[in-house]
Amino acid sequence: MSDVFPKDTVRCDACPVLCYIKLGQTGACDRYGNVAGQLVRLDPHIVLDRAKSQGTPLVPFLEREGEWDGSLMKSKEMFVTAIGAGTTYPDYKPAPFIVSSEVEGVDMVTVVTEGIFSYCGVKLKIDTDRHVGPERNMVRAKGEPIGHVTTAEYGSQMLSLGGVHHLTGGSKSEGRVTCETLLDLCNGKEVALTIDEGASLTVAAGRPPIVNGQREERMRVGCGSATIGMFAKQWFGKVDEVVVVDDHITGVLSEHQAGKMLGVRETGISLQGRRSTPGRYFQVAQPGTGWGGTNLSDPLAILKPFKAKAAWPHLRLLMVSTTGEHFAYYELDESLRPIERDLPEPLRESVERIRENCEPALTTVLFMAGAGGSLRAGATENPVKLTDSVKRSLTRVTAGGAPTYVWPGGGITFMVDVSRMPEKAFGYVPTPALVAPIEFTLKKSEYAALGGHMEFVRTLDEVMREKQRQRQLTSLPENPWPLKPTPKSEEEA
Amino acid sequence: MNTRATIRLLPDGRRLHLSDGPIDLIIGADGASKEARHAYQAAAHRFVTILDELCDELPLLRARATLDSPRLKGHIARRMSDAVSVYGERCFITPMAAVAGAVSEAVLVAMIEAAQLDRAYVNNGGDIALHLSPGQSYAIGMIERPEHPSLFGKFEISASVPVRGIATSGWRGRSFSLGIADAVTVLARNAAAADAAATIIANSVNLPDHPAIRRVPACEISPDSDLLDLPVTRAVGPLCTQEIFQALQTGATVAQGLQAKGWIHSAALYLQGRVLLVEPSPQLAGVELCAAIAEEANDGLARSQRNAHA
């Protein structure tokens, strides 16, 4: 059927309506359109309005109500984001918006474009101590390989997803599923992943991860040994022995360096598992969803009988997990068997303190991409000068107004926390590649010096007057205002 | 499972936003908080299959409605076809003219089957299905076009008025129009009927061969448009007052005809700053007729309400 239509018509495959879209037109949803023969998402162009005062409980990115009074524009601080701005791809032409405005008496320019990134991916930090799968193993979505498990970090498992090899180097279906999954993760949607020889995960940016169907509520305060170190002083004198149960390292107060320093008396306790250093035990049980990430439902299972030489009747024993979710208090009877008792009030406080110190477990999503040739050419005739200006911090790189971290070294490879960006900031093209907003903000003088497209600079007021397709959002108060003047260059200083 | 659909609460924490492909619904439900929650769950559950159901029969839904049109399978598809069939003999219309209203209605029915609500609405880009339990009402504001949210009219619909559907059509909207109205808002017994009637009336607000109006065959803009090569309005230049009222009057005459048949309750026609109202006829305001209409025409809603009470 496609041969009936002119060559520049595209077929949109974003939903089952499968619209044929002619050049310059949009599909039935008005969200996808044919731009220069490419299927492009056309969501409204987002303009940020600076949050009134930092810390005001503003609803992030709430759509403004009512009619826009154009006359108020000058007195407001506005930032034109790249979300919905359009793109320079595939042509080498000036960025769709090059906006000048005066900020704190300095003329600033923001070059605004939607970048089309085939070199891009996401880094996922999943706050859990559960084993999600061996390092380097494949991460799959809908059965397709889309990334791998990388180095575990403190209290978290890390996944590296996407990248050019999965997007364009594998089968068509691998590329499509990778693109779809990255897009969903970046836009804050929930995604189901499986890891070869590992767990199944349900993750979404800024929400607790679900590992093998189990929702992670809290990160542990530390491993069992660290917990002993943190709380030894608070326990001293209130209890004779503490065992902090943890899947990684289980800690024992009386043997631990922290206990020794306080002069905690030897208790004749003996644990299952492998002793690493004094008071630190590995593998006291199997991994699971019980006490401290082990498979334990009864913590006494890891204790061997108390040694009569050192232990004494009425010895007070606290067992607690590294999240404080599980705890039990025992006293030894005359034959040195632990008998469970109610937790005394002073110890209850310490258990609650552990719980309090466990931060909410989240999945965080960092989008990472490299700004390539056509994108930089949209900013300047001499792309390397833009790179250089970014390296020297004379040009600020933001993504939908959110701050980015630019990797040292060559090129403009940046990372951004997608939770700090406006919702639905990302799109895709069926190449497949992700479409992400990117803005370069720098002094107008600096922009001229690096060979910027000065003839295409428009004032903020001019841009704001083109009301069509614009949507005003309030900037997130925790983000630095993207238009703050950049530092002085050496010539000026 | 449909992974395209977006299901979320709007930032106000009260309204539900459902979106899938070209379908975009804003939903509100008032009642006990537990009931409202059930209603939202039911709405989301019903919603996720709708686009696929419709796309299954898309070629037929895009074909001109005639007396011997093949029977459609899907419930929503049938509601669409029923809503337009009364017009099929007289003019070109396809079931797509009622798609937005029929979808609103289907989601609303799912909600009131699942929960006991004081009142609820499902707004599908201006095509709105309403539920009102006795004594309840909704205040409705009309705007000329979405990017210009200034009210050109306000009205209230209370439970005793036989209106459970509101629809707006015009050339500035997302769907194509053969007419030049900026907006025609229709009140009718249900959303599918309102949607189809708004399309018909907006098409008839027209000034044939006027030089200030730019028309383009629909298929030139959208190759798979259900309107084939019919000339759809793309731009309307400034018109003089007399021309404006002439165009509005043509539409109002059609609207009065539909009202006389009992197919619509009332309508507001808007063109370049001027409004013509087709007020509810005195007979339609009669309580007896209201009850009869509610029983016979509001079939989906009436049935579900009975179920809810049973």
pLDDT given for residue A33 in this prediction: 85
pLDDT band at B304 (very low <50, low <70, confident <90, very high): very low
Give dist(CA A317, CA A319) in Å, integer.
Answer: 7
Contact A375, A88 (CB under 8 A): yes
Is residue A349 domain-shared with residue A378, that is, in the same domain? no
Task: State residue B147's pLDDT score.
Answer: 55
* Choice among A142-146, A249-253, B91-95, B99-103 with the minimum mean pLDDT: B91-95
Interface with B, mutate which of A12, A17, A22 (most B CBs under 10 A): A17
Q: What is the rounded CA–CA span in Å between residue A332 and residue A232? A: 21
A235 shares its domain with A286: yes
Asked if A16 lies within 8 A of B51 by C-beta distance, the reply is yes
Mean pLDDT across the stretch A321-338?
94
Per-residue confidence band for A61, with pLDDT thresholds at 50, 70 and 90: very low
Option in A19, A62, A67 nearest B224 (CB): A19
State the Cα–Cα distance between residues A161 and A159, nearest whole angstrom: 6
Which residue on chain B is closest to A9 by alpha carbon?
B223
pLDDT of residue A292: 86
Residue A338 has which token pair?
């632990």
Mean pLDDT over residues A438-458, rounded?
89
Name chain A contacts of B224, Cβ cutoff 8 Å.
19-20
d(CA A368, CA A380): 23
| In a domain? residue A362 | no
Q: Determine the Cα–Cα distance for residues A341 and A17; give it in Å rounded to an integer.
A: 65
Nearest CA among B20, B105, B10 for reference residue B55: B20
Whether A230 is in a domain gets the answer yes
Q: Is A308 on the interface with B (CB under 8 A)?
A: no
Lowest mean per-residue pLDDT among A130-144, A399-413, A427-441, B2-16: B2-16
Mean residue pLDDT of chain A comes to 84
One domain for residues A86 and A137: no
Q: In order of start, what are the domains of chain B with their CATH numbers? A: 6-309 (3.10.520.10)
Closest to B236 in 3D by CA, of B201, B277, B202, B196: B202
Mutate to test the interface with A, among B14, B175, B224 (most CBs of A within 10 A): B224
pTM score: 0.54
Q: What percent of chain B has pLDDT over 70?
A: 85
- Residue A1 near chain B (CB below 8 Å): no
A contact test, residue of B1, B2, B3, B19 with most A CBs within 10 A: B3
Cβ distance A14 to B222 less than 8 Å, yes or no, reads no
Q: Does the residue A392 lie in any domain?
A: yes
Q: Assess whether A341 and A314 both reside in one domain.
A: yes
pLDDT band at A491 (very low <50, low <70, confident <90, very high): very low
Q: Are residues A352 and A237 both part of a single domain?
A: yes
Distance CA A117, CA A195 (A): 25
**Which residues does chain B have within 8 Å of residue A19's beta carbon, measured at their own beta carbons?**
222, 224
Cα–Cα distance measured from residue A438 to residue A482, given in angstroms and rounded to the nearest whole number? 12
* Domain assignment present for A367: no
Lowest mean pLDDT among A23-32, A153-162, B265-274: A23-32
- Comparing A31 with A236, the larger pLDDT belongs to A236
Through-space distance between the first and last CA atoms of chain A, rounded to whole angstroms: 64
What confidence tier does A468 reach under pLDDT thresholds 50, 70, 90? low
For residue A52, pLDDT over 90 is answered with: no
Domain that holds residue A181: 120-215
Distance CA A305, CA A56 (A): 58
Closest-approach residue (CA) in chain B for A187:
B6
Residue A491 lies in a domain: no
Q: Quick one: pLDDT at residue A352?
A: 93
Is residue A375 very low, low, confident or very high in pLDDT (cuts 50, 70, 90)?
confident
Q: How would you classify the pairing of strands A427-429 and A433-443?
A: antiparallel
List the single range of A54-68, B32-46, B93-107 with lowest mean pLDDT. Answer: A54-68
A387-to-A90, A399, A404 alpha-carbon distances in Å = 20, 16, 15
- What is the percent of chain A with per-residue pLDDT over 90, rounded to a whole number? 50
Residue A490 lies in a domain: no
pLDDT at A75 over 60: no
Residues with Cβ within 8 Å of A206's Cβ and at least 6 positions away in sequence, in order, are A188, A362, A363, A364, A365, A419
Of these ranges, A87-91, A271-275, A356-360, the one predicted with the greatest mean pLDDT is A271-275
Average pLDDT over residues B197-220: 92
Contact A113, A97 (CB under 8 A): yes
Residue in A closest to B19 by C-alpha: A29
Which pLDDT does position B144 carry in this prediction?
A: 62
Residues linked to residue A109 through DSSP beta bridges, in sequence order? A100, A442
- ipTM of predicted assembly, 2 dp: 0.72
Instruction: State the pLDDT at residue A42.
Output: 73
Q: pLDDT tens, A222-281?
A: 889 999 999 999 999 999 999 999 988 999 999 999 999 999 999 999 999 999 999 999
Q: Contact B158/B137 with Cβ under 8 angstroms? A: yes
CA torsion angle A371 A372 A373 A379 (round to 10): -10
Contact B174 A30 (CB under 8 A): yes
Q: Which of A327, A356, A385 is the endpoint of a domain? A: A356
- pLDDT attached to residue A312: 96
- Say if residue A418 is in the same domain as residue A446: yes
Rounded CA separation A394/A396 (Å)? 7
Does residue A363 lie in a domain region? no
pLDDT of residue A261: 92
Phi first, then psi: give them for residue B18, nearest 5 degrees. -120, 130
At A267-321, the pLDDT tens digits run 999 999 999 999 999 999 988 778 988 889 999 999 999 999 999 999 999 999 9
**CA–CA distance, B133 with B120 (Å, rounded to integer):** 9
Looking at the fold, whether A155 and A177 belong to one and the same domain comes out as: yes
Average pLDDT of the residues of chain B: 84
Say what the alpha-carbon torsion angle A296, A300, A306, A311 is, to the nearest 10 degrees: 120
Pick the closest to residue A49 from A29, A27, A24, A69 (CA basis): A69
Residues A124 and A114 in one domain: no
Whether the pLDDT of residue A441 is over 60: the answer is: yes
- Contact of A493 with chain B, judged by CB distance below 8 Å, is answered with no
Pairwise CA distance, residues A426 & A432, whole Å: 13
| Domain shared by A4 and A29, yes or no | yes
The predicted structure's pLDDT at residue A493: 39
Nearest Cα residue in chain A from B173: A30
**Does residue A344 share a domain with residue A234?**
yes
Residue A144 has pLDDT above 80, yes or no: yes
Å between A368 CA and nearest CA of chain B: 24
Domain boundary residue, one of A185, A215, A245 = A215
Q: Are residues A79 and A150 in the same domain?
A: no
pLDDT range class, residue B54, cuts 50, 70, 90: very high
For A306, the token pair is 């108390």
Q: Is residue A25 located within the same domain as residue A111?
A: no
The continuous run of DSSP H or E covering A235 comes out as helix A224-235
**A-B contacts (CB, under 8 Å):** 56
CB contact under 8 A, A15 and B4: yes
Please give the tally of structural domains in chain A.
4
> Is residue A366 situated within a structural domain?
no
Q: Cβ A21–B222 below 8 Å, yes or no?
A: yes
* Contact between residue A339 and residue A333 where contact means Cβ atoms under 8 Å apart: yes
pLDDT digits (tens, 9 = 90+) for B116-126: 999 999 999 88
- Do residues B27 and B120 touch, judged by C-beta distance below 8 A? yes
pLDDT tens for A174-203 read: 999 999 999 999 999 999 999 999 999 999
Nearest CB neighbour to B223, from listed A5, A59, A63: A5
Residue of A370 and B154 predicted with greater confidence:
A370
